[in-house]
Structure 1
Amino acid sequence: MRIALASMDTRGGVQPYVALAVGLRRAGHDAWLVAPSDSAALAAEAGVPHRPLSGSVEEALRSSGGATERGTLSAMRYSAAMIGERVSAWSREALAACEGADVIAGGVGGMVVALSVAERLGRPFVEAHLQPLGAPTAAYPGALFARTPRWLGGLGRRLSHHLTEAGVWMPFRGAMQSARERVLGLRGRPRAHLGWPVLYGFSSRVVPVPAGVGRAREVTGYWTLPLAESWAPPPTLAAFLAREGPVVSVGFGSMASEDPAAVTALVRGAARDAGVRAVLLAGWGGLAPAADDADVFAAEALPHEWLFPRVAAVVHHGGAGTTGAGLRAGVPAVVVPFAMDQPFWGSRVAALGVGPSPVPRAKLTRAALAAALRAAVTDPAMGARASSLGALLREEDGVGRAVSLLEAVGRG
């Protein structure tokens, strides 16, 4: 089987699809990644062929002026403008990049372009999501409406899923329809995904998805990229972790900040107040401590699968992939959500009892973060729940299950 995996997203949104490609290739299939050019290094490190699209998501977000710090509406407006102006070019490029595929798959970031490309090529498109989209339920709110008031009850929570579905697609609908007509020569609504199962790259122990009506919904477990055999930690990091006392990991991934120095100072102060040392992951937000701070180890990025199990707690922005890595590690998490689906994942962490209540970026203070850190590293019941859940998640083979389902689609 030949399969194209499409993702126009940040590194955290692309990496699960690289993991799927690795699993497919190990199973003997020809799988490749279709993503913007800044995913080239990630794909190359994993041994996955990359058919690039123009532009850089990282450059776009670094120059966003902190749009994600201002919340979901600001992030959606910026994303709509950024992606909207690229959809036509990406559609032409993806049409060539997906040529020869038997199956095309992707989540929201890939569907913006590749769903219509699959239709143009006459190939099935498999929705492969990192969030619980298209599955309304009264059990929990929609991914974009984590703060749905409890007094609205089950009906309100179910409605929030429909509002999430509308909110996910509304910013891109016009650009998508224009590209369908002018670039791909298609009319009407996309339909290449109809009749095929929907895959979800997380665990039902974290988010149970209701059974589908008409279309199967398969929650496979997390799509985790194996750690490269050649990777080894810097000796200075190993020595830092070996010192006495609790260490936490702090990083906000692709979330750019207007004032990285102020955020860094806040994090350093909170860690000091909580009595912990910190591994600070700079990410796209540019966090950077003072060079003489012996209680902070700074790195641009480190493999989560290696780092997270070696710290007492993880502080992160609540991206779907980072949340999964933290849960699999079996340590408590402090979620500082910025925008989009991040408040949802923060609420799931708290609901599972494996982290304190999330601290929204708009309300992040030194005192609030310090209090959350203290809870995360000193609450034995929280630590025990996190450890137990992590052990269960590590037993799941999300990639293997997804590969089997994609193979079934390839067989028709």
Structure 2
Amino acid sequence: MHIAVIAMDTRGGIQPYAALALGLHRAGHEVRLLAPEDFAPRLRAYGIDVVAMAGSAEQAARSAAGVAEMNPARRTRLMREHTADLVVRPAADMLAACADADLITGGVGGMVAGLPVAEKLGVPFVESHLQPLGPPTAAFPGVLTPRLTGPSPLGTRLGHRLTAAALRMPFAPATRKVRTDVLGLPAQADPKRDPRRGLPAVYGYSRHVVPAAPEWGPYRHVTGYWMLPARDDWAPPPALRSFLDAGPAPVCIGFGSMAGGDPAALTELVVRAARQAGVRAVLLSGWGGLQQPADLADDILVLDEAPHDRLLPQCAAVVHHGGAGTTGAGFAAGIPQVVVPFGVDQPFWAARVAALGAGPAPIARRRLTSARLAAALRAVTADGGMRRRAADLGARVRAEDGVGAAVAVFDRLGARLR
């Protein structure tokens, strides 16, 4: 099949789709990956056919710095603005890139323009999610309502309905604009022409992390995490090698694409916490969330970035924002995780880490202090039971072939569509 994989997200949300695209390519499908232009060069290094979509995911994230500290109205307005920029502008290029596709697939970011494009072209669309988004279930809370649960299943199911509504609302203006201005479709989609009808869905996370939902039936497949193979051409920089050799395993601290309003203050906070807890730390500056501390010493190393699959297994624990991809990398590494959720789906993944005993209770970004973070760091480095649970979970996650299981779903679908 000719398959177009749409990956419009930040780095942690793009890499799993790149892994899926690579797996489909190796299985004999003709695959094209659509991703923001600033990711295209590094993804092409894997031998994937990549079409660069106009717009920079990193620039959008940096311009949204401090979003976690904003009031809800301003945060929603900013999300709508960035959605319009990252979705509407490349929609025409997306239509051209998918013109010869037999099938299109993508998750939340890919569906905003991808579903209307599939409708316009008259080709099927397969949902491929990094989060457990689907029909209401009592098996786990809604992705955006992790606290809406209890002894009655009604509240939990309601959380899934609220999640679905909350995900539609910020994207609705951009979707309408794509449909009417770019594709010449009616403003409202006709359910009878939904390109997802009768098709399976795949989920790139582990059933050991989020249980299967009985209500979802046999057509929604939780496959395991989609992870890119290790790059043979990456070697740890000399400073990292020296740092790892110089003492006990450090903790890794980084907040990925979450750029706070005051990176200097956040850096000072995490460095103070690491020193209060008596741990060495590797800081990943990411997209501006952290920076070089003013009082840098030999107990702290700062890097722009490093592959999680190569760095995290050499660390004692990881502190991060709770993005789906980063949380999955933490589980796969088999180390405890301290999650500091900023928003969106991050509180959900933070709650899963704590519920599985692979980390302490999460610390919401607005409640983060050096004392709270130091206490969490002491817990993850001193609690032998937590370390054993994280290691056991890591072994089970690594035993899954998430990409292979997802590819098998597409193979069966291709045979059906012939």
CA contact (8 A) 2:127 2:202 kept: yes
Please tell me whether residue 130 in structure 1 is matched to residue 130 in structure 2.
Answer: yes
Q: Contact conserved, 1:274 with 1:374, CA < 8 A, in 2?
A: yes
Could you list the per-position Cα deviations for residues 128-172 of structure 1 after superposition, in whole angstroms to 9, with x for gaps in the alignment? 000011132223211111222647x42111100110011011111
Residues 1:172 and 2:175 aligned together: no
- The residue type paired with residue 357 of structure 1 is A
Q: CA RMSD in A?
A: 1.7
Question: Where do 1:236-385 residues align within 5 Å?
Answer: 236-288=239-291, 289-290=293-294, 292-385=296-389
Q: What residue is the counterpart of 2:205 in the other structure?
A: 202
The answer as to whether partners of 1:132 and 1:209 remain within 8 angstroms in 2 is no
Q: Distance in 2 between matches of 1:214 and 1:220?
A: 14
Question: Deviation string for 1:243-276 (max 9, x for gaps)?
Answer: 2234100000000111101000101000001110
What SS does structure 1 have at the residue aligned with 2:338? strand
* C-alpha contact 1:68 1:256 (8 A) present in aligned 2: no
Distance change (3 Å), C-alpha of 1:310 and 1:135: farther
Cα distance, 1:185 vs structure 2: 2.4
TM-score of the aligned structures, taking structure 1 as reference length: 0.95
Partner of 1:279, secondary structure, is: strand
What secondary structure sits across from 1:237 in the alignment? helix
Higher deviation after alignment, 9-18 or 232-241? 232-241
CA 1:226–1:74 in 2, change beyond 3 Å: closer, same or farther? farther
Retained in 1: the 8 A contact 2:142–2:157? yes
State yes or no: 1:82 paired with 2:85: no
Tell me if the contact between 1:195 and 1:215 (Cα under 8 Å) persists in the aligned partners.
no
Name the SS for the 2:4 alignment partner. Answer: strand
Structure 1 counterpart of 2:143? 143
Q: Give the TM-score normalised by structure 2.
A: 0.94
Instruction: Give the Cα–Cα distance (whole angstroms) in 1 for the partners of residues 74 and 288 of structure 2.
Output: 17
Question: What is the match of residue 195 of structure 2?
Answer: 192
User: How far did residue 388 of structure 1 move?
Assistant: 0.4
Instruction: Check whether the contact 1:102–1:410 (CA below 8 A) recurs between aligned residues.
Output: no
Q: Distance in 1 between matches of 2:318 and 2:86?
A: 35
Q: Which residue of the other structure, out of 221, 224, 233, is the alignment partner of 1:218?
A: 221
Q: Which consecutive residues of structure 1, in runs of 5 or more, have no partner in the other structure?
A: none
- Partner residue, 1:10: 10
Amino acid at match of 2:347: P
Q: How many aligned positions are there?
A: 411
Task: Report the alpha carbon displacement of residue 119 of structure 1 after superposing the two structures with TM.
Answer: 1.4
1:284 counterpart SS class:
coil
Cα–Cα, structure 1 residues 384 and 65, in superposed 2: closer, same or farther, change >3 Å? closer
Worse-superposed segment, 141-150 or 374-383:
141-150
Is 1:230–2:229 an aligned residue pair? Answer: no
C-alpha distance in structure 2 between counterparts of 1:86 and 1:101, whole Å? 22
> What residue is the counterpart of 1:52 in the other structure?
52
1:174-215 Cα shifts (integer Å, max 9, x gaps):
321232133212234261111111110001110013145577
Q: 2:26 maps to what in 1? A: 26
**1:215 and 1:116 mapped to 2: Cα distance?**
26
- Structure 2 residue runs of 5 or longer lacking an equivalent are none
Identity within the alignment, %: 53
Offset, 1:77 = 3.2
Separation in 1, partners of 2:233, 2:314 = 19
Give the whole-Å Cα distance in 1 for the aligned partners of 2:262 and 2:380.
26
CA deviations on 1:20-67 (whole Å, 9 max, x unpaired) are: 111111112221211221121331232212111111121112012411
